[in-house]
Structure 1
Amino acid sequence: MASIVAVLRKKPNKQGEYPLAVRVTKERKSSYIYTGQYVLEKHWDEKLKRVKKSHPNSRRLNNLLAKKISAANENLLELETTQPFSSAKTIKEQVKGNYGSKSFFKLSEIYLHELKLQGKHNRVSAETPLINRFREFNKGDITFREINESLLRKYQAYLSSTRKVSDRTIINHLIPIRTLYNRAITDGLVDRKYYPFGKGKIVIKFPETTKLGLDEEEVKQLEGLSLKTGSPAWHAKNVWLFCFYLAGMRVSDALRIKWTDVENGRLYYSMGKNNKADSLKLPPKAIQVINLYEPGSNDISPTIFPELRMTDLRDRDLTQKRIKNADRKFNTHLKNIAKEIGLTKPLKMHIARHTFGNISGDRIPIQMLQKLYRHTVVTTTIGYQSNFKHKDADEALNQTVEF
């Protein structure tokens, strides 16, 4: 059982007065709720835990403390009944009347803000609309206790029938809910027994999909397509091919590459998704692509491709916004290019990665391909392909794209 008492904190202000506070203690761990009022130490009765009559406003201050403690105990009783394993910190939040600590969308705001501070802007951009969709469905805020299997099944039906989204997209909508629910359990905001996910409950499992990539002949068609130099379509084609030549590099990484990242024919860069740093020897075809571009004299950021040259890369929000806009424009032009060369497969920026996986076939061992893809675990790579012969990374990369 937690305890709540009035205390005089031993942290004086410039006037030598000490703050009046309410202390919440559980399992020898304490948190403090400050009243905003200060008194001199001589006016505090440590035994009775109250302001002495010698203070001119003793009655008012003691009434304030009594009201705080009364309200605190009332809220604490509810919390101890519903969440007996709550920490002192959680109890403090509840006692303060910060009911947002039990709220799904209040916690989601904290979660998204933390992702933003960590520089994970892609996740913020991807998960914000998913969380907002859940808010639309609920028509407002909701506590974690209210998020049960029945509600989530209704939400799945809503997404399928009303929003007309695919099974995979429905799973994408459930993932941030599960993430936040796990966070709430860790923070002691809800008991694990109410967890609506897992075996026999709501199971999150992605449906199997087929990753389509171009074959060698289709890439040759794209390479041989003549487009007006400097045109948006010409540029989109170049960026796509560059990404393909670098093992299906993500467009967000390609657009951030600077001229200074290339030295003696090698590329040195950190992948934006997980900050993994490495280097690769640039295949001749990739060098041919970047030789089509010249650095500008007034560039803020001397990137190889022009999209971010006038962007301060330290401004992560603006950088990510411009990358998203560029990706959208590239895909529009690639769609038109696909029609021009008679491709029946979809041609988008992310297809460059599938294409590399498709063409690599049995030419590269799975461990080497894992290195090229920069996957953390080999099981992720196995999802793309299997059974390759062992070769040096640079030779394997050249072997794949030099056909």
Structure 2
Amino acid sequence: MSTSIKVLIRNAPKKDGTFPIAIRISKEGKSSYIHIGQSVKLEDWDAVACKVKKSHQNSVRLNNLIAQKFAEASDTSLELQAKKKDVSAKLVATKIKPKKGVTFFAVANEFVENMRKEGKYNRVPTDLSRLKNFREFLKTGDIDFSEITVPLLNRFRAHLKGDKKLGERTIVNHLILIRTIYNQAILGEIADVKNYPFGRRKIQIKIPQSTKIGLTKQEVEKIEQLDLSAVPKLNHARNIFLFSFYFAGVRISDVLRMKWSDFQNDRLFYSMGKNDKPGSLKIPAKVVNILNQYKNDEPGHGLIFPELKVVEDFSDQYTVARKISYSVKTLNKYLKKVGEMAKIEKPLTNHISRHTFGNISGDKISPQMLQKLYRHSSITTTISYQNNFIHKTADDALDSVLNG
């Protein structure tokens, strides 16, 4: 008896009132079902033609998916029958039934949960927001990796730019996230590399250059010379900013994690949190003045600065990262007031301490030494970063034309 394969919707509706689309494989009165991960309302299903009606806004995409799954079931059935005479409906279904987590958002949820476990607090809400935008654009509960095509991603890009009014860098970050999850699915043998929509002659991701502006030496001196003795919160915010600047723009997340034990033999020893790259720097005299202001503070996890001392379990990296995020917002609020008092018109945040070091160093320091100071893994990254602050050649070229 031959195997019968038919596309239908199941009788039991989901909570939202839609009916799951499935492929029924029957033989000798026994049936097995393969759900394709999509569902439709009863009025959007053509039971005679076994397809989604045009009344459904995603009818073309869903019908393409149905045709793909139906063809896969038919091919598998024929292949098994060629190898073995007695083929049951259950065996055909087992061969092509998807593994757990094969759909895009199933893998995406696992990806986000792994980030949460790794303590990447800032990434979790940001990537959840990007995934929400993708889901809303699709207008379906989930999507198979094979359905993520170049045309689909181009429409998504246009949607983010035209409907969401997002900037180019934000749009690129959405595509990077989708690509990362797709790559993870390929490594897990969940997605087929032949359907990969990124790369040459497909979706190419180019990160747009952003303008980086740092303070001048004179502006830093204005901040240093402020008398903030009567305003402890502003003084502390200034200390954190200058501490970062004095150590070549060490990231604020690393500054707040600094411990007294990191200072040995008049040197700072620490590994950068972003890439675990270790290094050592001598302690400038200006840093000693800052450290002396915290020597008599209440101890906590051996930390220098107070922000993370309130965290009970310092091994809980997600909680630590969340506390850092909150602290940075508070510190930046006070830094803004410091900038106003110093009559600095540029936006003053902890992040631009790194840009400030780059701006003041300009082309005075070799790229190789800057790479060491910045803890960059690649000299190319250093050169690209420092190019934001080197203007002499372009300025001289302009002068030669206008004043030559």
Q: CA deviation at 1:165?
A: 1.8
Tell me the residue number matched to 2:116: 116
CA distance in 1, matches of 2:222, 2:295: 26
Cα distance change of structure 1 residues 68 and 324 upon mapping to structure 2, 3 Å threshold: farther
Contact 2:120 2:318 in 1 (8 A): no
Deviates more, 1:161-170 or 1:208-217: 161-170
Structure 1 unaligned spans of 5+: 1-65, 83-90, 387-403
Distance 1:304 1:169 in 2: 35
SS at 1:335 equivalent: helix
- What is the rounded CA distance, in whole Å, between the counterparts of 2:96 and 2:296 in structure 1? 57
Q: Is the 8 A contact 1:242 1:286 kept in 2?
A: yes
Gaps of at least 5 residues in structure 2 are 1-27, 37-68, 77-90, 388-404
CA distance in 2, matches of 1:324, 1:360: 28
In the TM superposition, 1:42-121 aligns within 5 A as 78=72, 100-121=100-121
- RCO higher in structure (CA 8 A, sep ≥6): 2
Give the corresponding residue for 2:330: 329
Alignment partner, residue 147 of structure 1: 148
1:191 paired with 2:185, answer no
- Measured in 1, the distance between the counterparts of 2:230 and 2:105 equals 49
Distance 1:349 1:319 in 2: 18
The structural deviation recorded for 1:123 is: 3.8
How many matched pairs?
311
Q: Which residue of 2 aligns with 1:347?
A: 348
**Aligned equivalent of 1:34:** none
Residue 320 of structure 1 deviates from its aligned partner by 0.7
Q: What secondary structure is seen at the aligned counterpart in 2 of 1:318?
A: helix
Q: Which residue of 2 aligns with 1:400?
A: none
TM-score by length of 1: 0.69
For the Cα contact (< 8 Å) 2:119–2:320, is it kept in 1? no
Pairing 1:297-376 to 2, within 5 Å after superposition: 297=298, 299-311=299-311, 312-376=313-377
Hey, what's the Cα distance between the residues in 1 that align with 2:271 and 2:245? 17
1:185 alignment partner AA? I
- Structure 1 residues 238 and 300: CA distance shift in structure 2, 3 A: closer
Distance 1:188 1:227 in 2: 59
Residue identity (%) = 44
Distance, in Å, in 1 between the alignment partners of 2:342 and 2:231 is 19
Q: Please tell me whether the aligned partners of residues 367 and 383 of structure 2 are also in contact (alpha carbons under 8 angstroms).
A: yes
Scaled by the length of structure 2, what TM-score is found? 0.69
* Aligned positions of 1:239-250 closer than 5 A: 239-250=240-251
**Separation (CA, whole Å) in 2 of partners of 1:113 and 1:68:** 39
Aligned CA-pair RMSD: 3.1
Structure 1 residues 170 and 96: alpha-carbon distance in aligned structure 2, compared to 1, 3 A threshold: same
Q: Which amino acid aligns with 1:308?
A: L
How far apart, CA to CA, are the structure 1 residues paired with 2:118 and 2:276?
A: 12
**Offset, 1:126:** 4.1
Deviation at 1:67, TM superposition (A): 11
| Alpha-carbon distance, 1:154 to partner | 2.1
